[in-house]
């Protein structure tokens, strides 16, 4: 048993393990890191159940910058996270995101976002409807006003592989992983002094990081006397096979919010795709169930996608699964860094579906705070907890 650690991280999926890796790999850090994970199989983690994609097509500079670093990290993952000469692979496919605008106002917002993305160095192209239809002949573009596409730096990858690569490298660097659940946070003189686990054990700590994800972030914060506006929102992912030969197909983001992208390689049965959409707000409660909403696919997602891609009218539905976003109900952006009233309690929560792609940048940033007391590379202070108390949202228009 371990009874003390310099840093305890609650949650060992992609975010928690990225933080652990980045701390342990910092040459200035000489302490002990302990990661506590309540689901060692990770079968219910967002990292395992996510659609696992990365983009730079955001409306806020901080999100663009985090994903620009994320794609660089993923391209170099074989060297960065190798253990004993064994290089991890995450099957990164830079197929790009294709965003569609179906009104003049949506096109104006798309162009404004594109201008910011250009300023930040993202490789995004702006298309007229005619240009989009010429590039993608399968696309129904009659109602479109504009489109944008990520020429490089956007695509999809193996989310499970990324999480496991972080975890394996962190362990190789001396990080200890414990199967358990934090149920209480001890405080004294305005600081966290220890955590108590469900099995009755106690670990004293110099700092505590809340990376508990959708299933426990809010509850863990509450045990420390902190309220964060994070809820667990179910998101379903559906698969289907399309017989038609469509050629090159990116991550399609329809004007409706429905998405679809290729999954795997074409075989005798056709090309497999995954797809999904956020449900209507009135059908989107705070929940921890994993029941698949098949009606969402049959009544909304499939008809919507078939209107945009006529070849999708004839498909064969496949398996489906549900996972959860740790949704920040304040502004749909991550909450990062220390809590002013409890300065050694750090938050890495509320990613609202962006956690996997932001895990490299968040891990690096939180590690810098933990080891050096400040951001040294990419300043993530815009995402601090203080913005919530000050009622200054970091608004992101492109939430899928």
Percent of the chain past pLDDT 70, that is, above it, reads 100
- β-pair type (251-253, 124-127): unpaired
pLDDT digits (tens, 9 = 90+) for 228-284: 999 999 999 999 999 999 999 999 999 999 999 999 777 778 899 999 999 999 999
237 and 142 in a single domain? The answer is yes
Distances (CA, A) of 198 to 57, 179, 181, 224, 225: 41, 10, 6, 16, 19
172 and 311 in a single domain? The answer is no
8 and 137 in a single domain? The answer is no
For residue 102, what is the domain's CATH number? 3.30.9.10
The closest alpha carbon to 176, from 39, 345, 9, 359, belongs to 9
310 and 238 in a single domain? The answer is yes
Strands of the 146-150 sheet, one edge to the other: 124-127, 146-150, 97-101, 251-253, 259-262, 271-276, 230-242, 315-328
Q: Is residue 395 part of a domain?
A: no
Domain boundary among 324, 351, 377: 324
Q: Is residue 210 part of a domain?
A: yes
Query: Does the pLDDT at position 396 exceed 80?
Result: no
* Distance in angstroms (rounded) separating the CA atoms of residues 201 and 370: 24
118 and 173 in a single domain? The answer is no
Q: Is residue 88 part of a domain?
A: no
Domain boundary among 307, 324, 341: 324
How would residue 47 be classed by pLDDT, with cut points 50, 70 and 90? confident
Please name the residue that has the structure tokens 């002949």: 137
* Distance in angstroms (rounded) separating the CA atoms of residues 377 and 397: 25
> What pLDDT shows up at residue 395?
81
> What pLDDT shows up at residue 266?
75
pLDDT digits (tens, 9 = 90+) for 294-341: 999 999 999 999 999 999 999 999 999 999 999 999 999 999 999 999
Q: Is residue 299 part of a domain?
A: yes
The closest alpha carbon to 262, from 342, 155, 147, belongs to 155
Q: Is residue 313 part of a domain?
A: yes
The closest alpha carbon to 250, from 143, 132, 161, belongs to 132
Q: 194 has which bridge partners?
A: 186, 204
277 neighbors 256 (Cβ within 8 angstroms): yes
> What pLDDT shows up at residue 71?
98
Q: Is residue 87 part of a domain?
A: no
> What pLDDT shows up at residue 269?
82
240 and 316 in a single domain? The answer is yes
pLDDT digits (tens, 9 = 90+) for 22-38: 999 999 999 999 999 99
Query: Does the pLDDT at position 1 exceed 90?
Result: no
* Distance in angstroms (rounded) separating the CA atoms of residues 79 and 69: 15
* Distance in angstroms (rounded) separating the CA atoms of residues 215 and 327: 11
> What pLDDT shows up at residue 215?
87
**Whether this model's pTM surpasses 0.95:** yes
For residue 361, what is the domain's CATH number? 3.50.50.60
301 and 383 in a single domain? The answer is no
75 and 101 in a single domain? The answer is no
> What pLDDT shows up at residue 265?
73
C-alpha radius of gyration, the chain, whole number: 21
pLDDT digits (tens, 9 = 90+) for 75-125: 999 999 999 999 999 999 999 999 999 999 999 999 999 999 999 999 999
* Distance in angstroms (rounded) separating the CA atoms of residues 372 and 389: 25
Q: Can you give the residue range of the structural domain that contains 167?
A: 4-82+158-229+330-389
* Per-residue 3-state assignment (H helix, E strand, C coil) for the chain: CCCEEEEEEECCCHHHHHHHHHHHCCCCCCCCEEEEECCCCCCCCHHHHCCCEECCCCCCHHHHHHHHHHHHHHHCHHHHCCECCECCCCCCECCCEEEEECCHHHHHHHHHHHHHHHHCCCCEEEECHHHHHHHCCCCCCCCCCEEEEECCCCEECCHHHHHHHHHHHHHHCCCEEEECCEEEEEEECCEEEEEEECCCCEEEEEEEEECCCCCCHHHHHHHCCCCCCEEEEEEEEEEEEECCCCCCCCEEECCCCCEEEECCCCECCEEEEEEECCCCHHHCCECCCCCCCHHHHHHHHHHHHHHHCHHHHCEEEEEEEEEEEEEECCCCCCEEEEECCEEEEEEEECCCCCHHHHHHHHHHHHHHHHHHCCCCCCCCHHHCCHHHHCCCCCCCCCCC
244 neighbors 316 (Cβ within 8 angstroms): no
* Distance in angstroms (rounded) separating the CA atoms of residues 67 and 75: 12
Q: 261 has which bridge partners?
A: 274
> What domain count does the chain have?
2
Q: Is residue 396 part of a domain?
A: no
Q: Is residue 66 part of a domain?
A: yes
191 and 48 in a single domain? The answer is yes
Please name the residue that has the structure tokens 């505590």: 208
Domain boundary among 292, 324, 356: 324
223 and 286 in a single domain? The answer is no
The closest alpha carbon to 303, from 290, 289, 317, belongs to 317
12 and 148 in a single domain? The answer is no
239 and 274 in a single domain? The answer is yes
């Amino acid at each position: 048993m371990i009874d003390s650690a310099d840093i305890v991280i609650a949650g060992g999926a992609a975010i928690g393990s990225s933080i652990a890796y980045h701390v342990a790999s910092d040459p200035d850090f000489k302490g002990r890191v302990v990661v506590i994970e309540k689901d060692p199989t990770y079968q219910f983690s967002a990292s395992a159940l996510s659609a696992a994609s990365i983009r730079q097509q955001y409306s806020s500079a901080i999100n663009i910058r985090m994903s620009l670093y994320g794609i660089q990290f993923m391209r170099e993952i074989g060297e960065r996270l190798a253990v004993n000469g064994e290089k991890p692979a995450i099957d990164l496919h830079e197929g790009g995101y294709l965003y569609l605008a179906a009104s003049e106002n949506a096109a104006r917002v798309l162009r404004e976002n594109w201008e910011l993305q250009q300023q930040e160095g993202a490789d995004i192209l702006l298309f007229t409807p005619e240009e989009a239809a010429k590039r993608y002949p399968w696309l129904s573009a009659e109602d479109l006003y504009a489109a944008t596409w990520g020429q490089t730096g956007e695509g999809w990858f193996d989310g499970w592989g990324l999480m496991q690569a972080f975890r394996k490298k962190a362990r190789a660097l001396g990080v200890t992983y414990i199967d358990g659940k934090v149920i209480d946070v001890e405080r004294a003189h305005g600081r966290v002094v220890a955590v108590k686990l469900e099995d009755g054990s106690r670990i004293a700590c110099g700092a505590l990081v809340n990376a508990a994800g959708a299933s426990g972030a809010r509850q863990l914060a509450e045990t420390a006397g902190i309220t964060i506006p994070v809820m667990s929102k179910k998101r379903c992912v559906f698969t289907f096979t399309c017989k038609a030969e469509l050629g090159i197909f990116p991550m399609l983001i329809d004007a409706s919010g429905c998405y679809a992208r290729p999954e795997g390689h074409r075989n005798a049965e056709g090309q497999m795709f995954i797809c999904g959409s956020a449900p209507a707000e009135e059908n989107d409660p705070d929940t921890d169930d994993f029941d698949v909403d098949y009606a969402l696919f049959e009544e909304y997602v499939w008809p919507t996608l078939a209107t945009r891609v006529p070849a999708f009218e004839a498909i064969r539905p496949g398996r489906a699964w549900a996972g959860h976003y740790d949704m920040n109900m304040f502004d749909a952006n991550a909450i990062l860094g220390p809590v002013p009233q409890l300065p050694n309690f750090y938050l890495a929560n509320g990613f609202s579906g962006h956690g996997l792609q932001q895990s490299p940048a968040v891990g690096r940033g939180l590690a810098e705070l933990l080891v050096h007391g400040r951001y040294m590379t990419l300043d993530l202070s815009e995402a601090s907890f203080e913005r919530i108390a000050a009622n200054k949202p970091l608004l992101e228009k492109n939430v899928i």
